[in-house]
Structure formats: C-alpha cells, structure tokens
Amino acid sequence: MRNKSPRHRWLSRAFALAILIVASVLHVTSARAEDGYELWLRYHPLTAGQATIYRIDASQLVMGSATPTQRVTREELQRGLLGLLGQAPSLSDTVTRDGAIIVGTPASSPLIARLRLDTADLGHEGYLIRHVNVDGHAATVIIANDDIGALYGAFHFLRLLQTDQPIAHLDLRDSPRVKLRVLDHWDNLDGSVERGYAGTSIWDWFKLPDWLAPRYTDYARANASIGINGVVLNNVNATPQILTPVYLEKVAALANVFRPYGIRVYLSARFSAPIEIGGLKTADPLDPQVQQWWRTKAGEIYKLIPDFGGFLVKANSEGQPGPQDYGRTHADGANMLADALAPHGGVVMWRAFVYSQSASADRAKQAYDEFKSLDGHFRANVLLQVKNGPIDFQPREPFNPLFGAMPKTPLMMEFQITKEYLGFATHLVYLGPLYEEVLSADTMTHGKGSTVAKVIDGTLDNHTLSGIAGVANIGTDQNWSGSVFNQANWYVFGRLAWNPTQSSRAIADDWVRMTFTNDVAFVKPVVDMMMGSREAAVDYMTPLGLHHLMGPGHHYGPAPWDASEPRADWRPVYYHRADSEGIGFDRTRSGSDAVDQYEPSIAAQFNDVKQTPEELLLWFHHVSWDYRMRSGQTLWYELVAHYTQGVDHVMQMRETWSRLDGYIDTERYQQTATFLAIQEREAQWWRDACIAYFQSISGRPLPPGFAPPQHSLKYYESLSFPYVPGH
C-alpha cells in the first residue's frame, strides 16, 4: 500500500462522508420494476447500506472529446457516475480539486503525457487505472495508448464501482490476451435467427440503412463493456444477398454505429456467391475469374467499410457449398478469400465444423481428419475456427483434438452462447464452467500446461493472430437474451475472450452484482446456483459422456430412441449405441480410434476405460450395463442416479430462488421463478424419458429408491413439437 499524506487522508475521509451522505439521500429501494434491458450496465444508485466507502469526487471529469470514441467514453462515464453516485460530473481541462477522474492517452492529453506513466505493455487495447497526484491533487487516471483502451478502462472502472470494490488506491493494468473477440450472429436476412431463442434478429434489415435503432448503440456499449471487438452479422448458413450493394450499404450503416466502440463487422460469406450473385459459371477457388470476383467484391466492401473485419465461412458442411465441390481443399478455398482480403487487412475465419455428405464411421473424427494435414497450408490471415468439442456444442464434450494439433495455424475457438443443446431460453444454465473446462483442458502437445487457452491466445505456438468466437444468444426480446440469466452467458463469454484464464466463478460474481445487487445474502447463493447449473444440465440431459440425445431437427427435449433423421449421424441411436449388453460409443483403438487424434499420453488415458474420467466414459467406451463404476455401483445404477441428481439439483435451485424473493425487483424475480419451474418440469421429462428408454433396452429393473418415470416410454415417444423456436 502506498503512503498517504495526513492531508490526503483527511480529504479521503471527507469525500467518503460526502458521498455517503449523497448516497443515503438518494437511497432507493432495490425493488423497482425492471425488464432486463439494461443488462449488466445497470447504473442504479449504490445504496448507503453497503459498506463501501466511495473515495471519489465524481464532480470532476478531466478528458477530451475530440474523437467519436472519446465522446462515447465520456458519455458512458457521465451516465455511470450520475447513475451510481447520484452526481453528474462536471467536465474540466485541468485538475482543480482532489478526487478527479482523468481519462485519455498520452498523445491526446498533455496532462497525461506529463505523468509519464509506462504504457509500453498496454498495446492497442489495454489500459491502466491508477491513483495519482496531479498538481497537488489526488486523482484517478485511466490511461491507454489508444482511445479504445481508455473506453475499456472506463468500463472497468465503472465495474469496480458497480461491484462494490475499493477504489481508493487503484493500481491496475490490463490488456486482452486474444486479438479477435467476436460474436457470431446466426441471423437471417428475413429476421429469423437460427437457434435463436430470444425473439427475432436485432438487425432490422428492412429499415436499414436509414433507421438506426437505439438498440444498436446499446448493443455496442454492452459488447465494448466486456471487450468484444467484432461481430459477424449473418448466419453461417449464409445467403449471398448479404454481399450485394443494397445490403452492403446496410452493413456499412451498422459498422458506423459500432466503430466508436472498437467493434468491427464481419460477414458470413457463401462460397458459391460468384455464381449466385456474380453470374459466373463456377465458384472454383483456382479459377482466375472467381478470384477476380472476390477481389473486386472485397474492394467494394472496403470502400464502404474501411475497417471491415473479414469473412466467416462454413464450407462443405451440412450441404453448404465449398471448395471440395471442385475437387479443391479447404486451404484452397480459404486462401483464395484470404488473398482477396489481405490488401485491406481483413481475415478469413474458416470453420472446421465440417462433415461430409455421407455419414462416416465416427463423425467425431471428421474435423481432425479433414484439417490436420492442411496445417501450414493456410495464408497468414486465415484463422481456423474450431468448435470446442469434436461433435457439436453438447452439454459436455472432451476438447476438440484439433487444439494443439495444428501448430502452424492460428486456431480460433468457437463456443455456443445460445443454448441450442442446453435448454433454450428457459433453463438456467450458466455456461462459464463449460467454457472454463474447455479452456483449461491440457492438450499436452507441448508438454504439461499446453492448455487450450494457450492454443487459442496464440502463446503456445507464437501466433500474433488469435481469436475466439461465441454464437450469440441475442434477439429482440426486451431482455436481449431470452432470460435474465442468459445475459450472464453473453457476459462470461466476453470476459473470458478478453482473458481465457479467468475464473468463471469470479465472473459470475461480478455479473450478479452488476445485474442485481451487491447484497451478499443474494450474491452468494445465486453464484453457487449458477456454478452448479451446468453440471445439473449435463446430469438431467446427457450424463457420463452421453451426447446428442435431443429431439430431431429442432433439438427440443429428449429423444434417445430417435432414428428418423435421414443421416445416421444425426440420430441419437448412432451416438449412444445402447443394446441389451451395454451402452456408449467405442472410440478406443478397438473401436473408431478417435482417441488417437489426441496427444499420445491423453490418447492412452482415453483409450483405457479405467483411466477415462467417468464424466466422459460413454463418449469413449461402450461398457456393459453392469460395469462397476468407481462408486462400486453399476453403470446402470449410476446412470439413473445422475439423471435423478440433475432433477434434484434443479429443485434445489428453485428452492434457493424462492428464498430470495424481495432482494430484487418483482419482474425479474418472477420471470426467473417461472422459468425455473419450466426447467424443473423439463428436467423431469428428460430424466424420465431417458430412463424409460434406456430401461427398455437394458432390461434392468430400476435400482431401489429411485422413482419410476411418470409416463410410459410410448407416451414420451408420442410427443411431437412442430413449432419450436430457432428451427
């Protein structure tokens, strides 16, 4: 701790007192109605009941407003300080009293330059926040090398206030570890959102470019507050129209709104666009006319959007066109687009989520099989975007074996934020632990400690280009994400994208405080509830390494019996392989040998049923129903126990929530209570349907002490859902 002069101490106390008085005058009950629109940027008065002493005189804000980013930074601080402390700060060029907040860059502010603080390690987006003395006055500075860093710093500072942190002696510096921190919107031009459960698309394409909904600005604020610096506006199952002049004008209008917030726009590009909107006969990446078409298109885009980010491409996957249609490789396709973008500084995010038209022996192996050998064949401005697991955003998957296996290629993580496989809008499932589990997984490819986080932040193989993407859960719902708790998944994604080594619990703690209240009697149980929620979903949906048991097409609810899909590898029965003897997908050396896509020591572990973590048992092994688990119980017993435990956990979450009535506004409280009731009912449905089905296969009696399913298997099989959202 720094030494403080007696005068300074006296002043600090005086401010503390002053602010406490203001705060107590402004004290309002937390029980006002809210609709969730403000997200975590909820600058409501900090209550006098809190123990914090706000040693800050918010009445003086010393900062410039010469650039758009400086202006939005100033607006955000004014809005935040007014809301939180009840005082509108005055703007000033000089520090005339203690407690001022000084914001800017050494280049834009002589005052900041004079402080000579070391900003060398902050890079373009980093910042430092520090308690300093300026002309005899105590002040807080938020300094960066570029305006955008100062905006990020301002949001960090506001977060400290919002979460009740001491701010009197700040000395912190932070900068992002990952370069591209991107939200992927699976939004269609007709306003629908693929796998969207929060209303329709927030992009009002029809009224763009003229009408710029205020929501676009709030969206940009929210993203900037957690460090997101890129957005892909349209679905990976892309229509070529987005690349036509009419739509590019609209895209440019959105880019203009986002630019001050440090956010670049990207587009999903349909590989066959040269045919569909270019009038060419082919989209062959080696055809000079095709190459020229993309170069011209890139030039056209950059004329409108000079900081355009680049293209995201889903090629030769689930029926999408791609280079393989012409006998070319994924590298040929990606490089052709990369060459068109390179002169303008754009990148290609090429997806590794591919699988061929004809179902293979093990779909889990396909991405690795297709891409591993292409390592070293991509241009420098190509990132390979890899889903976290080898199948498809399931409640639990082992990490994708491509992580660590392509050292010469920057691998970009793709997480799903929208809960396509985790209960849509209504289930309370905090995805922080899922993301953290994947990011902290050790690939072992460069010895111990070769975590997935180090692969994607580029440090493991010295890549300067790095990225992480999350499939957005945002729509026109007033609360943006379909439920208040789903906002936490957007939030934690951004925070982990900034620094993938953070703890998801600490992030949940921040989110709860910012979103609801700092009252620990509320914060603690809610954070606990969030932290346990993902494991609960794994338990009531797909315990012990099971996966892909959901309803066909729409993915709502359980359907482990389903064999209706046209492709074998879209059917649950393909994945669980239950028969009278046992259950699970044999991916060992005597099965599909997917284990050998991992580094040898990990492969050996997964290959050995005794060494495989039980949470992934049925992912890698087909075992007998009577297989002895570590608990000494049979697999059949443990399966039923896990399904039951999942439902019990949801009951506990409801119970916890029922004790928290009165801590927050009625609106958000009630909606969460109702959604938890839906979740409990659906968790019970998952459990009962899966147990009924697996019992019909295993022929085993229900272990004693467990309730039988509420309905017959026939009943569960008879349910059909023609109008599920997001499909």
Report if residue 587 touches ligand BDP, rule: CB under 6 A: no
Residue at 630: amino acid letter: R
Site for ligand BDP in 490-529 (CB under 6 A): none
* CB 647 to ligand BDP: min, Å: 25
Residue 121 region by backbone torsions, left for phi larger than 0, else alpha for psi between -120 and 50, else beta: alpha
Report if residue 236 touches ligand BDP, rule: CB under 6 A: yes
Q: How far is CA 278 from CA 160, 286, 291, 293, 636, in A?
A: 52, 16, 12, 7, 58
Q: Looking at beta carbons, which residue is closest to ligand BDP?
A: 392
Report if residue 694 touches ligand BDP, rule: CB under 6 A: no
Residue in this structure with the two tokens 């030769």, named with its chain if needed: 316
Active-site residue, 593 included:
no
Closest CA to 138 of 2, 14, 1, 8: 8
Q: How far is CA 461 from CA 124, 406, 407, 445, in A?
A: 22, 9, 6, 11
Coil/strand/helix, residue 237: coil
- Asked if residues 475 and 200 have their Cβ atoms less than 8 Å apart, the reply is yes
Between 221 and 351, whose beta carbon lies closer to ligand BDP? 351
* CB 560 to ligand BDP: min, Å: 18
How many binding residues for ligand BDP (CB under 6 A)?
A: 9
Between 170 and 468, whose beta carbon lies closer to ligand BDP? 468
Between 237 and 652, whose beta carbon lies closer to ligand BDP? 237
Between 393 and 694, whose beta carbon lies closer to ligand BDP? 393
Report if residue 195 touches ligand BDP, rule: CB under 6 A: yes
Write each residue from 363 to 402 as x if it is in contact with ligand BDP (CB under 6 A), else as -, in one continuous string. -----------------------------xx---------
Between 164 and 420, whose beta carbon lies closer to ligand BDP? 420
What number of helices (H) and strands (E) belong to the chain? 21, 16
Report if residue 570 touches ligand BDP, rule: CB under 6 A: no
Q: How many angstroms separate the CA atoms of 345 and 696, rounded?
A: 58
* CB 421 to ligand BDP: min, Å: 7
- 462 CB burial (10 A radius; 0-12, 13-18, 19+): exposed
* CB 184 to ligand BDP: min, Å: 9
Report if residue 648 touches ligand BDP, rule: CB under 6 A: no
- Asked if residues 274 and 280 have their Cβ atoms less than 8 Å apart, the reply is yes
Catalytic position from the list 147, 284, 420, 569: 420
Q: How many angstroms separate the CA atoms of 394 and 467, rounded?
A: 21
Question: Read out DSSP for 540-584?
Answer: HHSGGG----BPTTT--SB-TT---SSSGGGSHHHHH---SSEES
Between 112 and 315, whose beta carbon lies closer to ligand BDP? 315
Write each residue from 259 to 298 as x if it is in contact with ligand BDP (CB under 6 A), else as -, in one continuous string. ----------------------------------------
* CB 489 to ligand BDP: min, Å: 16
Virtual CA dihedral for 627, 633, 637, 638, nearest 10 degrees? -90
Catalytic position from the list 125, 392, 457, 596: 392
Active-site residue, 509 included:
no
Which residues lie across from 270 on neighbouring strands? none
* CB 222 to ligand BDP: min, Å: 24
Q: How far is CA 74 from CA 91, 92, 95, 215, 684, in A?
A: 9, 12, 16, 19, 50
Active-site residue, 477 included:
no
- 82 CB burial (10 A radius; 0-12, 13-18, 19+): middle
Report if residue 353 touches ligand BDP, rule: CB under 6 A: yes
Among 194, 339, 375, 648, binds ligand BDP (CB under 6 A): 194
* CB 301 to ligand BDP: min, Å: 23
Between 152 and 393, whose beta carbon lies closer to ligand BDP? 393
Chain centroid offset of residue 387 CA: 12
Between 194 and 287, whose beta carbon lies closer to ligand BDP? 194
Cβ within 8 Å of residue 695, ≥6 positions away: 702, 713
Report if residue 177 touches ligand BDP, rule: CB under 6 A: no
Please tell me the total number of residues recorded for the chain in this structure: 727
Report if residue 314 touches ligand BDP, rule: CB under 6 A: yes
Element at 387 (helix H, strand E): strand 382-387
Q: How many angstroms separate the CA atoms of 556 and 686, rounded?
A: 10
Q: How many angstroms separate the CA atoms of 619 and 601, rounded?
A: 18
* CB 237 to ligand BDP: min, Å: 5
- Asked if residues 625 and 577 have their Cβ atoms less than 8 Å apart, the reply is no
Between 149 and 390, whose beta carbon lies closer to ligand BDP? 390
Q: How many angstroms separate the CA atoms of 149 and 105, rounded?
A: 9
Catalytic position from the list 121, 318, 626, 661: 318
* CB 317 to ligand BDP: min, Å: 6
The alpha carbons of the chain give a radius of gyration, in whole angstroms, of 27
Among 50, 67, 217, 237, binds ligand BDP (CB under 6 A): 237
Other beta carbons less than 10 A from residue 662's beta carbon:
10
CA end-to-end distance (rounded Å), the chain: 56
Sign of CA dihedral 202, 416, 192, 313: positive
Between 318 and 581, whose beta carbon lies closer to ligand BDP? 318
Between 407 and 552, whose beta carbon lies closer to ligand BDP? 552
- Asked if residues 403 and 452 have their Cβ atoms less than 8 Å apart, the reply is yes
Q: How many angstroms separate the CA atoms of 563 and 575, rounded?
A: 11
* CB 319 to ligand BDP: min, Å: 10
Site for ligand BDP in 398-437 (CB under 6 A): 420
* CB 233 to ligand BDP: min, Å: 16
> By the criterion CB under 6 A, which residues form the site for ligand BDP?
194-195, 236-237, 314, 353, 392-393, 420
Q: Which positions are annotated as active-site residues?
A: 318, 392, 420
